């Protein structure tokens, strides 16, 4: 009898607690658990800008694992010239390798590394041209449940901007976190212009003021679509599931009105029809277009566009294959053309007059980078570009190899997403900010 009364008492107390919580939070237990449920839902749906399989992402949540950041296996080359082990985890079998002919300056590499404290995290490493020394390191910790490495930009003043975990953070050259905008959809390649950082924030181009961190919307996808009704490539439903052909075709994105729908039945990326991955401002490089014209890349449309931001009008467009990182030139653009549906990646130049040529043929370097990728030209005419996921290359103006980096780790490798060469004069200027450390 006593046990029955005890059970009734416990049930009554639970109902009382439930009633209080219901009155306080209106819909117990959903409001209490709401944030966690949203996080679980977001994790299950996945990030439209992250191609990591679900099981790999799940493994990364419950274990200190490199599985989400691996870049494939490599034959160990130049192992006797690897970086000094001081920075890295003592248990890893192989270390990153930097082979270079440079005699001054330094390289800054942003990617995933396993540090001496046994933490696997995104880092920016400043590596000396001796190929041995990690001169500086910036740890860019993941925020919340996100494990999105994203990209990094070095500003003219030597600050490091990263959109890791969809947030925007600014680190000084000396390693201090100067400011941070919490996770709010920032992604992919960034560009600096007149004291602002331009990048995609969700489906809009945003300009973030480096001084007061104010955020201004420069261009919305909805305006781009509505102001270019003749560009059928853009007419993909934003809210409805759409179908996507994984085979390379002239026009890969289409909606339910497609007359050839019966032959296009493979569902793919229904929440990411455009996959915007780069914003570059003209800055007067090309006199043909306005100084503030935007060079935009849409990976899932296989297209790069020049857009006038005030009118949202497309001024020029060219097709590629899952491309990244278009760059302005006086008479055209260069593009990191992943060519996911082919055998090798290429870096191509396309003139605004229609001329097209290959700058770097991936077959020569055994490069087929299916996702991510970028390239840049330096003031001396040399070029840096990412190779396969753990690599970057630096070629001189004649196309001769200056530097090759591989982020080796055990019998595998870890990804690299940005790489910069810091000239000695700039390095001295940046380092002067840190005197007295």
For residues 172 and 135, membership in a common domain is answered with: yes
Find the domain containing 21 and state its range: 2-45
pLDDT of residue 42: 57
Q: Determine, yes or no, domain membership for 94.
A: yes
Alpha helices in 293-401 (DSSP H): 362-365
Name residues whose C-beta falls within 8 Å of residue 184's C-beta, 6 or more positions apart in sequence. 166, 167, 168, 201
Residues 40 and 158 in one domain: no
Do 259 and 315 lie in one domain? The reply is yes
CA-wise closest residue to 107 among 409, 324, 406: 406
The pLDDT of residue 339: 93
Asked if 277 and 227 sit in the same domain, the reply is yes
In a domain, 169, yes or no: yes
Query: What residue ranges of the chain have pLDDT lower than 70?
Result: 1-7, 15-68, 73-80, 236-271, 437
Which neighbouring-strand residues pair with 332? 351
Same domain assignment for residues 23 and 115: no
- For the chain, what is the radius of gyration of the CA atoms? 24
State residue 241's pLDDT score: 39
Task: Look at residue 51 and tell me if it is in a domain.
Answer: no
252 with 129, same domain: the answer is yes
User: Can you give the pLDDT at residue 245?
Assistant: 35
How does DSSP classify residue 412? E
Q: Would you state the torsion angle of the CA atoms of residues 274, 276, 277, 282, taken in this order, to the nearest 10 degrees?
A: 130
- What's the pLDDT score for residue 45? 56
DSSP secondary structure, 171-214, as one string: E-TTS-EEEEE-SSSEEEEEEEETTEEEEEETTEEEEEETTT--
Confidence at residue 40, expressed as pLDDT on a 0 to 100 scale: 56
Residue 52 covered by a domain: no
Tell me which residue of 414, 392, 391, 394 sits closest to 88, measured CA to CA. Answer: 414
Residues 399 and 297 in one domain: yes
Distances (CA, A) of 166 to 144, 162, 199, 200, 370: 10, 9, 11, 10, 22
Are residue 38 and residue 85 in the same domain, yes or no?
A: no
Residues 67 and 30 in one domain: no
Confidence (pLDDT) at 70? 72
Q: Do 24 and 133 sit in the same domain of this protein? A: no
């Amino acid at each position: 009898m006593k046990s029955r009364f005890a059970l009734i008492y416990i049930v009554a107390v639970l109902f009382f607690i439930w009633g209080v919580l219901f009155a306080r939070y209106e819909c117990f237990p959903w409001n209490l658990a709401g944030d966690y449920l949203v996080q679980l839902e977001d994790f299950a749906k996945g990030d439209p800008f992250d191609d990591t399989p679900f099981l790999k992402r799940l493994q990364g949540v419950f274990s200190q694992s490199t599985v989400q950041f691996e870049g494939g296996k490599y034959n160990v080359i130049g192992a006797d010239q690897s970086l000094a082990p001081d920075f890295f985890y003592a248990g890893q079998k192989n270390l990153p390798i930097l082979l270079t002919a440079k005699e001054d300056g330094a390289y800054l590499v942003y990617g995933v590394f396993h540090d001496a404290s046994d933490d696997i995290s995104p880092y920016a490493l400043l590596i000396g041209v001796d190929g041995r020394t990690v001169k500086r390191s910036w740890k860019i910790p993941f925020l919340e449940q996100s494990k999105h490495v994203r990209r990094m930009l070095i500003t003219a003043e030597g600050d490091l901007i990263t959109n890791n975990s969809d947030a925007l953070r600014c680190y000084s050259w000396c390693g201090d976190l100067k400011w941070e905008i919490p996770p709010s959809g920032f992604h992919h390649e960034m560009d600096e212009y007149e004291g602002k950082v331009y990048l995609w924030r969700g489906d809009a181009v945003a300009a973030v003021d480096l001084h007061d961190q104010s955020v201004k919307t420069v261009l919305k996808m909805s305006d781009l679509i509505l102001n270019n009704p003749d560009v059928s490539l853009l007419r993909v439903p934003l809210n409805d599931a759409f179908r996507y052909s994984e085979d390379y075709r002239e026009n890969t994105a289409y909606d339910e009105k497609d007359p050839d729908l019966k032959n296009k039945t493979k569902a793919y990326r229904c929440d990411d029809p455009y996959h915007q991955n780069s914003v570059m401002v003209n800055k007067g490089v090309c006199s043909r277009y306005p100084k503030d014209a935007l060079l935009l890349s849409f990976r899932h449309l296989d297209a790069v566009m020049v857009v006038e931001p005030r009118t949202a009008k497309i001024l020029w467009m060219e097709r590629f294959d899952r491309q990244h990182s278009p760059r302005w030139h006086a008479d055209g653009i260069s593009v990191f053309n992943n060519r996911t549906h082919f055998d090798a990646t290429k870096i191509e130049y396309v003139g605004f007059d229609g001329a097209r040529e290959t700058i770097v043929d991936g077959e020569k370097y055994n490069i087929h980078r299916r996702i991510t990728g970028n390239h840049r030209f330096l003031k001396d005419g040399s070029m840096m570009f990412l190779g396969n996921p753990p690599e970057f290359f630096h070629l001189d103006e004649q196309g001769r190899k200056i530097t090759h980096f591989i982020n080796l780790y055990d019998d595998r490798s870890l990804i690299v997403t940005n790489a910069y060469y810091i000239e000695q004069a700039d390095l001295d200027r940046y380092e002067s900010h840190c005197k007295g450390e």
